[in-house]
Amino acid sequence: MKNFLQDVYSIFWREMKHFIDQKMRIIVSIVQPFIWLSLMGNLMSGFTNNPFGLMALGGVKYLDFMTPGIIIMTTLFGGIFGGVSIVMDRRFGYLNKMLASPISRSAIPLGKMLSSALTAGIQALMIIIVAKLMGVNFATGILGIILILILAMCFSLAMAGISLALAARLKNMETLFAIVNFLTMPLMFTSNAMFPTQTMPDWLATIARWNPLSYVVTPLRTLVTSGWNWMEITQGLVYIFLLVLFTLYIATTQFKKSIA
Amino acid sequence: MKIIEVNRLSKTYPGGVEAVKGITFEVEEGEIFGLLGPNGAGKSTTMMMLTTLIKPTSGSAKVCGYDIVSQPNPVRFSIGYVSQDLAVDDTLTGRENLFLQGRFYHLSKEIIEKRIKELLELVHLTERADEKVENYSGGMRKRLDIAMGLIHRPRVLFLDEPTLGLDVQTRQDIWEYITRIRKESNMTIFLTTHYMEEADNICDRIAIIDHGEIKAIDTPRKLKENLGGDLITLSLRQDGIERTTLFLENVKLLEYVNDIKKNDGRYTIIAKRGEKLIPLIFNIAQENGIEISSITLKQPTLDDVYIAYTGKELRDEDGSPEDVRRMNRILRRSR
């Protein structure tokens, strides 16, 4: 067990080194939410600054409404490209180097998933700080923010798990990118991340309700805009917990099956 | 002691490619053992099976007494593996690469730090240790890669094409490190290489593999001797078939001559003590009225052995597209 945890930590450490090394990526992760929030926030406030708009948004500013959506979007993209690192490791022979060592096989996907989670946590924190500076009000205060960070990290971990499971199978960067792009954009825009379901046509609202992304956005939004509504928060926590378990399972089994 | 025992090991890839067809051989502890063969002969597949990276289809193998299929982890602890991919992490420093590698083998921080110091000295990277690997030259990367393979003091070191894509000077350095490691630690070294003279100089024993089968296995000296002696190559000024045939028959009757082969209009006489034979061959030629236009005598090299067993020269091989891409990638990283 001690060795297993050490293996996970070794992989995690290496991935975090890669993250810190990418200075551009860190800068972008701060600048991007700022651009999204100021651009989309201002653009949409024209539409929503009226009684009907306010009603659709549940009585809050569009900026407040959108902040959880931006957090989920950023962590979704951060996580879903987690599989790329396996493809790179394979291409440069580093994967074989790890596999020729006695390192635990499941530690490899697990360490990578954890690094994806921490990266997402850092990015989510950046977004929250930017949002705060732009006047977004977090209804549940500091405890709520901590819960938001935990949820975002778990979500990114799960997305990285899916991505790693795919990457273990596909072995090819181009196919991985194609599938990931095919999945993420529609997933994003058929969810309630950017727009309230009340303003959607019925068919789209139905899709949005069943969209797995909405399950994560909803508790986050509750925490930001309405407060400690335990029904929705617990639902979200249970959902994310199950998602994490499921993706841990498929990532490690797929990895063992097709690589080790 | 037999440190590697391979028993009718074979590997058939999904899709039906039989990469290795039931090979059997043994490697003694402390040996430098070379596996030579053209691309696609089964060298890398064999190495990947012995390093537990892929599972054999049938047959078995033991490394340090552990079965590669049922006891992969003890095998992994006792071997070091340096692939031909220059698998070092560019974003880490040399020291960090070594440290991480040590952690993969569950060594304590103190031991790792001590060994890093020794290994950096061995491969002359002490001064550049805290620089990122992306600034390293190809030779430095390779040296680091080899040092990484040694961090846990393996009993067997597997080196897949350790000098591929490196310049002559660096190649010599690499072989120097390898011989020094062997001398200092009695480590067994299992390697593949394309460079025949290097294999000849460094390997205690060599196996020649082609089409997934081992064609010959022996010391380089014995392999060369088994060819049957020196090679005398003759070109004749053509003076009629009958006279030539008579001449060759007479030569063949000489003591020490083992065989005569014709290729490209030249004749290769395989014989012991070639230097003594040359005057006799001239005499016979004169008696038969044959004019010799040129004659060369050489000791067989491993190249000749290789050609004799595989029917091709290592130099002019066609690689598959994947080989070419892989090669380009390695060269690009070697710079």
For CA atoms B255, B256, B261, B267, the dihedral sign is: negative
Residues A41-54: tens digit of each pLDDT? 777 777 777 777 77
Domain boundaries, chain B: 2-223, 228-299
Query: What is the C-alpha separation between B214 and B223, in angstroms, rounded?
Result: 13
Q: Residue B54 has what pLDDT?
A: 93
Which of A17, A91, A101 is the closest to B92 by Cβ? A17
Binary contact (A10, B81; C-beta < 8 A): no
* Interface predicted TM-score (ipTM) over 0.85: yes
The DSSP output letter for A140 is T
Query: What is the C-alpha separation between A56 and A65, in angstroms, rounded?
Result: 10
Residue B5 phi, psi (nearest 5): -125, 115
User: B2-223, which class in CATH?
Assistant: alpha beta
Amino acid identity for residue B321 in this structure: P
Q: How confident is the model at residue B306 (pLDDT cuts 50, 70, 90)?
A: confident
Binary contact (B100, A98; C-beta < 8 A): no
Query: What is the C-alpha separation between B149 and B83, in angstroms, rounded?
Result: 9
Q: Residue B333 has what pLDDT?
A: 61
CA distance B320 to chain A (A): 17
| Residue A18 with chain B: CB contacts under 8 Å | 91
The DSSP output letter for B318 is P
Would you say residue B316 has pLDDT above 70?
A: no
Q: Check if A51 contacts B (Cβ < 8 Å).
A: no
Q: Check if A4 contacts B (Cβ < 8 Å).
A: no
CA distance A213 to chain B (A): 34
Q: Which residue has the higher pLDDT, A256 or B4?
A: B4
- Count of domains for chain A: 1
Q: Check if A256 contacts B (Cβ < 8 Å).
A: no
Binary contact (A101, B52; C-beta < 8 A): no
The DSSP output letter for B262 is E
Mean pLDDT of chain B: 88
User: Which residues are CB-contacts of B293 (< 8 A; sequence separation ≥ 6)?
Assistant: B235, B236, B237
Binary contact (B73, A17; C-beta < 8 A): no
Binary contact (B104, A103; C-beta < 8 A): yes
| Residue B106 with chain A: CB contacts under 8 Å | 3, 6, 102
Select from B72, B19, B54 the least CA-distant residue to B213. B19
Residues A245-259: tens digit of each pLDDT? 999 999 999 998 877
Would you say residue B114 has pLDDT above 60?
A: yes
Q: Residue B313 has what pLDDT?
A: 58
Query: SS3 for B229?
Result: coil
User: B228-299, which class in CATH?
Assistant: alpha beta
Place of tokens 């992304």: A213
User: What value does the mean pLDDT take over residues B186-207?
Assistant: 90
Query: What is the C-alpha separation between B67 and B52, in angstroms, rounded?
Result: 10
Global pTM? Answer: 0.85
Query: What is the C-alpha separation between B298 and B304, in angstroms, rounded?
Result: 11
Q: Which domain holds residue A49?
A: 2-258
Binary contact (B106, A97; C-beta < 8 A): no
- Report the C-alpha dihedral over residues B257, B262, B266, B272, rounded to 10 degrees: -20
The alpha-carbon radius of gyration of chain B (Å, integer) is: 24
Measured N-to-C along each axis, helices A230-258 and A107-133 cross at an angle, to the nearest 10 degrees, of: 140
Q: Which residue has the higher pLDDT, A82 or B332?
A: A82
| Residue A7 with chain B: CB contacts under 8 Å | 104
How many cross-chain Cβ pairs, A to B, lie less than 8 Å apart?
Answer: 62
